[in-house]
């Protein structure tokens, strides 16, 4: 009888335990879902979101499994469907682990070396750096022999799945005991460099420290164990429309900042955004070449700064950022990252980059740096005659030239070298400074170490005024417009910025390579690439073959349309229901033309102030009156590029 009773208790205990783990699974699935989606009422709309949610639930789906699920989903997976998928998806088996181990163990010696791990983790998809792979190996290598045996490899794979569950459950329920946290023995990690074997630092403390370092350095390729940055913005997909609602983001959080930059290498440069007056007021910017001799963790920041002739309150609010492209041996380059985060001082990005050549493309949406009316003649007198009848520069113009000098002084050393002076010439006259012209400048102006001083720069313009006489007034007015100054000598069409690159593992080099401008420039391509890279799409039902791409963050919303047909598509974007936001186009109804098999930018939108903002946009077929030319917020300049200031030496 007692035996029967004991058996019954065992069955009840087993049933209770089974119910408990079922409940725990449900909690883990909900926590995983909410770590990626805003609520359980919101459906998963991309393969990337599906992969992330399953990984947070402790699963290891293959690309084949994701594609199979997605092909049956009709473009959306609900929370209940996700829970069913997660329950049906089998955990990683011993046979799968053995198969995976053998594939990585290329030489078949029963161990996985660093070179073998590197070969696998850099063969497909997002590439990892040597430093990242060394950290993975160090964390999993329990006996510290520099390689992984089967037991260490299995513990690494299984513990990653369990840690994902633990992370999300504890995030939702901080006081809850999570059954997954003890389901697998923790993977030993590399000891602190200050802790020798047998020191007082515990293994768990060392593991937490190492994991914290890894998490903070993985923003270039977020792993399933690192929580993505949660946005306050909410995206709704409606019938042929989108609605983005956001509120003031927290700019004081510095969790993803380096704890210290001591020991990091630093390169920097100044630059400036200008409005190109002869390219439909598109943005012009300095483009940079970044060289990394070795793979490194990188901290990149960009922020606008104020010169005396600018409007401080407006310039400090101009949105800036940078695209990072990896150059290749071919003409094509690949977007690897772009700035998405902001603190109280600057926009920034942190992540790992492999060795090689990169192109850094600063950008601004243009929402706060708009084209102005260029038909106004200059209000300020730029030149004057003295009592001897000699032409002189006015005091206001001399001061403005000091601001121009500060903007052109990209390295901030107080002088203009040949390259810096060349950028100025390109902006104002479309002429490069050749060897002969540069030598003439050096022979006639005040220089130090073959670089132009501020006094020499001002004197150059004085010499032009004395050479051109009355014509110099208009020449200088046109010149100042091309570098962003208005008729009152205020910098309202330019935004200077500081670009800083910190590298932890190598010494990098950074230099201006050229000026990017025009509708088909690298800046425009960067926006299209970055929007498409997020792979957040919405089908436009009213027009066949048209796909909507949406990038939505706390700071801006950018949208693009892709035409997947062989015919040009014409449509309209209606943003009249938006509230408390400003846009690049500045119009409620935007006529759009999308060429065959191409993408085009629809608009950028960003909050007008720190209050709640809504961007609501509907794509429709053009109405009968949409063929009329839309009025523009600004007129094209009828001004021309000025003659070069070095022409006066001819």
pLDDT for res 361? 95
Which SS3 state, helix, strand or coil, does residue 205 take? Answer: helix
- Residue 611 confidence (pLDDT) above 70: yes
As a whole number of angstroms, the distance between CA 506 and CA 370 comes to 39
pLDDT for res 123? 56
Indicate the pLDDT class of residue 591, thresholds 50, 70 and 90. Answer: very high
97-106, 198-207, 336-345: which is most confident: 336-345
Q: How many residues does the chain have?
A: 650
Give whole-number Cα distances, 157 to 20, 25, 98, 200, 412, in Å.
Answer: 25, 19, 12, 28, 50
Number of Cβ within 10 Å of residue 483's Cβ equals: 19
Mean pLDDT estimate for the chain: 77
20-24, 150-154, 393-397: which is most confident: 393-397
Indicate the pLDDT class of residue 22, thresholds 50, 70 and 90. Answer: low
For the chain, which domains are there? 19-216 (1.10.238.10), 265-361+504-524 (no CATH), 383-491 (1.10.238.10)
Which SS3 state, helix, strand or coil, does residue 354 take? Answer: coil
Helices (H), 430-494: 435-444, 454-468, 471-482
- Residue 650 confidence (pLDDT) above 60: no
- Residue 586 confidence (pLDDT) above 60: yes
As a whole number of angstroms, the distance between CA 532 and CA 449 comes to 47
- Residue 627 confidence (pLDDT) above 80: no
pLDDT: is 42 or 548 the higher one?
A: 548
User: In the chain, how long is the greatest CA-to-CA distance?
Assistant: 126
pLDDT: is 487 or 279 the higher one?
A: 487
Of 129, 431, 179, the closest CA to residue 293 belongs to 129
pLDDT one-digit tens code per residue, 259-315: 899 999 999 999 998 876 555 557 888 999 999 999 899 999 999 998 865 555 444
Q: What is the dihedral of CA 66, 71, 75, 78, to 10 degrees?
A: -60
Sign of CA dihedral 124, 130, 132, 135: positive
pLDDT one-digit tens code per residue, 39-54: 888 888 888 888 888 8
pLDDT for res 535? 80
pLDDT: is 212 or 261 the higher one?
A: 261
Of 232, 242, 235, 173, the closest CA to residue 43 belongs to 235
Phi and psi of 450, rounded to 5°?
60, 30
pLDDT one-digit tens code per residue, 519-529: 557 888 999 99
pLDDT one-digit tens code per residue, 330-360: 777 899 999 998 888 899 999 999 899 999 9
With b meaning 16 or more CB within 10 Å and e meaning fewer, what string describes 625-646?
A: eeeeeeeeeeeebebebbbbbb
Give me the residues paired with residue 323 across strands. Answer: 338, 361
pLDDT one-digit tens code per residue, 423-434: 898 888 878 888
């Amino acid at each position: 009888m007692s035996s029967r009773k004991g058996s019954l208790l065992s069955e009840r205990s087993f049933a209770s335990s089974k119910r408990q783990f079922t409940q725990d699974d449900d909690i883990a699935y909900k926590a995983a879902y909410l770590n990626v989606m805003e609520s359980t009422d919101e459906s998963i709309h991309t393969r990337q979101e599906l992969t992330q949610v399953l990984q947070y639930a402790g699963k290891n789906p293959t690309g084949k499994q994701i594609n199979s699920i997605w092909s049956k989903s009709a473009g959306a997976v609900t929370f209940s469907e996700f829970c069913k998928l997660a329950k049906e998806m089998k955990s990683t088996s011993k046979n799968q682990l053995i198969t995976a181990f053998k594939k990585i163990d290329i030489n078949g010696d029963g161990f996985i070396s660093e070179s073998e791990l590197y070969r696998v983790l850099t063969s497909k998809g997002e590439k990892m750096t040597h430093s990242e792979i060394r950290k993975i190996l160090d964390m999993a290598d329990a006996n510290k022999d520099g390689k992984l045996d089967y037991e260490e490899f299995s513990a690494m794979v299984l513990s990653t799945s369990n840690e994902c569950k633990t992370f999300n459950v504890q995030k939702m329920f901080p006081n809850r005991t999570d059954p997954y946290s003890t389901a697998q023995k923790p993977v030993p990690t590399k000891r602190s460099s200050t802790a020798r074997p047998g020191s007082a630092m515990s293994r768990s403390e060392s593991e937490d420290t190492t994991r914290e370092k890894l998490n903070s350095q993985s923003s270039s390729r977020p792993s399933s164990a690192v929580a993505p940055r949660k946005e306050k913005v909410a995206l709704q997909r409606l019938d042929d429309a989108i609605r983005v609602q956001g509120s003031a983001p927290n700019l004081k959080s510095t969790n993803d900042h380096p704890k210290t930059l001591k020991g990091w290498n630093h390169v920097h440069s100044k630059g400036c955004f200008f409005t190109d007056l002869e390219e439909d007021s598109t943005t012009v910017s300095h483009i940079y070449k970044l060289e990394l001799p070795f793979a490194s963790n990188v901290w990149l920041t960009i922020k606008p700064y104020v010169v005396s002739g600018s409007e401080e309150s407006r310039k400090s609010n101009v949105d800036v950022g940078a695209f990072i492209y990896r150059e290749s041996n071919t003409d094509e380059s690949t977007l690897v990252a772009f700035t998405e985060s902001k603190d109280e001082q600057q926009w920034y990005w942190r992540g790992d980059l492999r060795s090689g050549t990169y192109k850094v493309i600063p950008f601004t949406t243009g929402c706060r740096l708009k084209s102005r009316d260029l038909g106004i003649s200059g209000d300020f007198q730029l030149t004057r005659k003295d009592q001897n009848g000699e032409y002189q520069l006015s005091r206001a113009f001399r001061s403005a030239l000091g601001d121009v000098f500060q903007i052109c002084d990209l390295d901030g050393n107080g002088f203009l070298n040949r390259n810096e002076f060349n950028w100025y010439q390109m902006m104002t006259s479309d002429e490069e400074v050749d060897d002969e012209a540069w030598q003439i400048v050096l022979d006639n102006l005040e220089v130090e170490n073959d670089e132009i001083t501020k006094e020499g720069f001002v004197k150059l313009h004085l010499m032009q005024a004395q050479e051109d006489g009355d014509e110099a007034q208009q020449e200088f007015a046109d010149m100042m417009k091309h570098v962003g100054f208005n008729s009152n000598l205020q910098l309202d069409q330019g935004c200077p910025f500081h670009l800083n690159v910190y590298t932890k593992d190598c010494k990098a080099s950074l230099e201006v390579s050229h000026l990017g401008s025009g509708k088909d420039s690298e800046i425009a391509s960067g926006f299209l690439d970055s929007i498409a890279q997020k792979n957040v799409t919405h089908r436009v039902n009213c027009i066949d073959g048209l796909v909507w791409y949406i990038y939505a963050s706390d700071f801006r919303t950018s949208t693009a349309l892709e035409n997947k047909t062989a015919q040009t598509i014409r449509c309209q974007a209606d943003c009249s229901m938006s509230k408390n936001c400003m846009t690049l186009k500045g119009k409620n109804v935007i006529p759009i033309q999308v060429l065959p098999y191409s993408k085009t930018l629809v608009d950028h939108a960003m909050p007008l102030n720190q209050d709640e903002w809504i961007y609501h946009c509907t794509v429709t077929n053009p109405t009968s009156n949409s063929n009329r030319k839309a009025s523009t917020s600004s007129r094209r300049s009828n001004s021309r590029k000025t003659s070069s200031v070095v022409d006066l030496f001819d």
